[in-house]
Amino acid sequence: MSKQEIEWSFQKTKKGVIMRNQLILAAAAVPDLKVADVEYNTNQIVRLIKENSACGLIVFPELSVTGYTCADLFGSGLLLEKAQDGMIRIAEATQEYSGLTVIIGVPIRFENNLYNCAAVISEGNVCAIIPKQYIPSYSEFYEGRWFSSGKGLTERSVRIHGKDIPFGTDILAEDPESGAVLGIEICEDLWVPDKPSTHMCLAGANIIANLSASDELIGKEEYRRRLVEQQSGSCYCAYVYASAGVDESSTDLVFSGHTLIGQCGTVLQEDIFPLCPSVSTGAIDLVRIMYDRRHQNTFGNADENMYRRVNVNIRAFRNGEASISEMADILKELPVVLSRNPFVPSDDRERRDRCRKIMRIQANGLATRIRATGIYNLLIGISGGLDSTLALLVCAEARSMVPEIRIIAYTMPNKGNTSGLTYKNARELMRLIADEVHEVPISESVQMHLKDIGHSPDYQGEGDSAYENAQARMRTYILMDAANMINGLVVGTGDLSELALGWCTYNGDHMSMYAVNASVPKTLVKYICRTYAQFCSSEELRRVIFAICDTPITPELTPSHEGKISQMTEEKIGKYDLNDFLLYYTLRYGFEPSRSAAYAMCAYPELERKEIIKAAERFYIRFFTQQFKRSCLPDGPKVGSVSLSPRGDWRMPSDASMRLWLDDLKDVMR
């Protein structure tokens, strides 16, 4: 983080922790329109600006002041004068709306030519005018008949109503307060190979506005959407696209008013063939955009001297800074949809496809390791829980690729701790999948070990980590030695969530020779197992997997209650879905604790906010202090958008820096 970002993130006030708010409400607006009726069109644009003045940015379609389909009327000096007057009147109407920038389409005469332009308007001023670079004159387009290309026009200005206005294709509009840097394309500029927005983003633009008049043909809607997704993704930017509405339709062409707001490869908001006037709004998160750019260090920088920057006001929604509680309120007010399970797709079909792809990645990674080592004996410990079940299923899938594989499964019950339910499920699962099944009770070995170190053979209650960890280490000890005996490879079962929280025994159950689940979060493990069960041919195996999926998550390291599960993992480390939520935003977007907590408050409205703060404190304490357990992770396939690999892990902080992170969660709750 830069010094300025740190100051924003950790500044303290009487309201609690203050974070920088870089959420910008953007709108793609399609007004009612009458072709060549500048006064009517101007009134409609002003009306929509007034009704949506809470936005920081509003983008209107191409040539929205006159209409795109004026054809030879663009040769009329009267129409062009009226268009300039309309532009100035729109600018004057924005004077009372602080923090708002509006982009409208207008024809502009410059020297000997006419240009199809975008006017950048902010707080009463026309701040810049950007001409269209690529003028289509193919198929149904005749723009070359009236307009010239602005390509190569730089360092110029145009005088309108006594004021010199920056004019050219070398302009970016910047709000230093919110961090927004706006670049502008006009319709065809998006469809060409060398897109102007690519160069703008390399020079610092993080939002691209596209004023368009794209007519409808079969298949064009989908292609247009893919263009916006791809450009916002490859440029790590927000993309606000507004196309001409149905009022522009003629005997030859039909326009749809297609609006799209995309961010980093995802469409946040979309509408097509709306009843006009229509406004689509989306919340642009500059924090996420700038994190992606810093993280993807192949994202280069262009020579900033290629572009001039003009100052505008594109305010963050509500305030430029916010406490945790205020940020949560802002997120609720904005059109932001937050998944409670960001690792798990909500759509059933998409979730099934992802689960099957993840298992394919896991199995292929394991199969590749086996071919490379020439070790075909796979040893795995089966507890009857979700993680070892998934690991065993991955071994079975790898065996279908490498028939020489032999799966040797061990269950290692501890009398008095292992419940009847998990023991039964483990035995059934091994019988149905493994080539060899072994049962090695560990009670006597553990008790002997505890006796050797002077520990009572009985559980001493809460905090007796020696008793609990001795079991995990004994199981790993057995698996490793058995692997040595038969030239085998121990397959690890620990998942991403356990590794992040350190919910694993050092040099115990987190140790293996290849950890197939190391990049799979706990919230996804159950869905992968269920998906496998749904598609497997064995009804008996399906029944066992479903039974395991319905079993509470437990390490079973404390005495059971009359043979029933007594130790619940989530009672110790909190709800896994909330932990995974915090993990996702910490690793995927580099959020500081306060911002992650604010997002959680929005995603989990039924939880008390103080409860979320407490959960976040618990998560971050475990996340940092358990780093030593991740410093010697075994290899494993990378299957998700976040990773805790040894080469990409978070360093364990000093006491002072730890306090800084935890102080970031202090908040005066209202």
Give the catalytic positions in this structure: 62, 132, 187
CB-based contacts of 195: which residues, under 8 Å, 6+ apart? 185, 189, 231
- At how many degrees (to 10) do helices 420-433 and 386-401 cross? 0
Please state, in angstroms and rounded to a whole number, the distance separating the CA atoms of residues 595 and 666: 12
Structure tokens at 567: 């130790």
The C-alpha atoms of residue 327 and residue 314 are separated, in whole angstroms, by: 18
For CA atoms 95, 98, 104, 108, the dihedral sign is positive
Pairing verdict, β 113-122 and 16-20:
unpaired
Element (H, E) at 207: strand 207-212
d(CA 129, CA 109): 11
Q: Which long-range contacts (CB under 8 A, 24 or more apart) does 529-534 make?
A: 529/386, 529/389, 529/390, 529/393, 530/355, 531/351, 531/352, 531/355, 531/356, 531/359, 532/355, 532/359, 532/393, 534/352
The helix (H) or strand (E) run that includes residue 26 is strand 23-30
| Alpha-carbon span 414 to 423, nearest angstrom | 10
**397 membership: H or E segment, kind and range:** helix 386-401
Torsion on CA atoms 480, 483, 489, 490, rounded to nearest 10:
-40
- Dist. CA 263–CA 290, nearest whole Å: 11
CA distance 539 to 28: 52
CA distance 367 to 402: 7
Q: For residues 261 and 24, what is the distance between their CA atoms, to the nearest angstrom?
A: 12
CA-to-CA distance for 260 and 238, rounded, in angstroms? 10
Contact 449, 419 (CB under 8 A): no
DSSP state of 579: H
Looking at this protein, which amino acid is placed at residue 482?
A
Residues 649/653/657/663 CA torsion (nearest 10 deg): 70
Query: From CA 638, how far away is CA 650, in angstroms rounded?
Result: 17
**What element of type H or E holds 109?**
strand 101-110
270: tokens are 């979309």
Rounded Cα gap, residues 342 and 333, in angstroms = 20
3-class DSSP assignment, residue 217: coil
Measured at the alpha carbon of residue 336, what is the angle toward residues 335 and 340, in degrees to the nearest 5?
145
**Number of C-beta neighbours around residue 434 at 10 A:** 21
* Residue 494 half-sphere exposure toward CB, CA atoms < 13 A: 30
Strand partners, 20: 321
Ramachandran angles phi, psi of 464, nearest 5°: -85, 75
CB 77 within 8 A of CB 134: no
